[in-house]
Structure 1
């Protein structure tokens, strides 16, 4: 299922070098394009396909809302919209209830970051972590893997003038978010 082709077309495309990193990542990662109507996914890696149960061709071109349960995601959906609309905010994380293709529900820790490219539409990076069966070791492994992927992507995109992810501070607080969610169960 590995996909190393380009994602998107023209102003909406990701460089092949970024796709290569994403295709090797064990962290579920998607990219959505704010320059297209309804910010559809332009890329989903294999790890995302395994997490969601969907094939790549079933998700590319759709907004990530398709993962939400029929009754919606509640107030977190408004927080995500506010993040996407706020130019000053570059990254955030959200706890959101999602549903796999099989119908199985899972609690998703969603990390989002904005990728701004000179003269091109903003892209949104989304990375997911299933915290339904949370373990501290799993959370640490997720943060470490995502931080490594972000460093590699930043190294490639900064050469092209694409300021992307400001830091891994949001990742560092992911563990806190998971624990808080579990305390509220």
Structure 2
């Protein structure tokens, strides 16, 4: 599952692969190098987006953005990826499923680092907030929090430190409000 030959130096520890496969939330793992190609997505990610591991291995997650002009979200993601000191980012972003159906993705990204501090992977979780009910969103936030808590010891077995904070998840009210505005713009045709 570790991706294409171009990414052979990013062998994913078995424990991390198993963790991804068993996660209750959509997860993706990318390379910290060059164009941040994806090296692993789980079944929940495939269910959400329609893209399988085979479709995405070695490709950047921007494929989900299509032609939408979601400048603010894209700028946040570029800032996170461009600043190695940035621990995490959470933002709603307009994405498109493989079949072209739009959805507002509440994207969470953080870094998984080696013990020496080098970013080994970019970790991401996705959730469709397009039509999410408050209870579903709270359940996702809870699942993501548990995922991050459980990921830490699994990653530590392979000498990887999970960077980021649960505070980013806990402070999601403004993020959700922004997602609803993005959805309203999508419904009005203002974003496309």
Fold shared per TM-score above 0.5: yes
Q: Answer yes or no: is 1:22 the counterpart of 2:20.
A: yes
Q: Which residue of 2 aligns with 1:134?
A: 132
Q: CA RMSD in A?
A: 2.1
Q: For 1:37-52, what aligned pairs fall within 5 Å after superposition?
A: 37-52=34-49
Q: Which residue of 2 aligns with 1:161?
A: 159
What is the Cα deviation at residue 136 of structure 1?
A: 1.0
Q: Which residue of 2 aligns with 1:105?
A: 102
What is the Cα deviation at residue 62 of structure 1?
A: 0.5
Q: Quick one: distance in 2 between partners of 1:159 and 1:17?
A: 8
> Does the Cα contact within 8 Å between 1:95 and 1:110 map onto a contact in 2?
yes
Shift of the 77–171 alpha-carbon distance from structure 1 to 2, 3 Å rule, reads same
Q: Quick one: distance in 2 between partners of 1:10 and 1:61?
A: 11
Q: For 1:36-185, what aligned pairs fall within 5 Å after superposition?
A: 37-118=34-115, 121-182=119-180, 185=184
Q: Quick one: distance in 2 between partners of 1:56 and 1:166?
A: 25
> Does the Cα contact within 8 Å between 2:110 and 2:123 map onto a contact in 1?
yes
What is the Cα deviation at residue 179 of structure 1?
A: 3.1
Gap runs ≥5 in structure 2: 185-192
What is the Cα deviation at residue 147 of structure 1?
A: 1.3
Give TM-score scaled by structure 1 length.
Answer: 0.87
Indicate the SS of the match to 1:133: coil
What is the Cα deviation at residue 175 of structure 1?
A: 4.0
What is the Cα deviation at residue 81 of structure 1?
A: 1.0
> Does the Cα contact within 8 Å between 2:38 and 2:60 map onto a contact in 1?
yes
Give TM-score scaled by structure 2 length.
Answer: 0.84
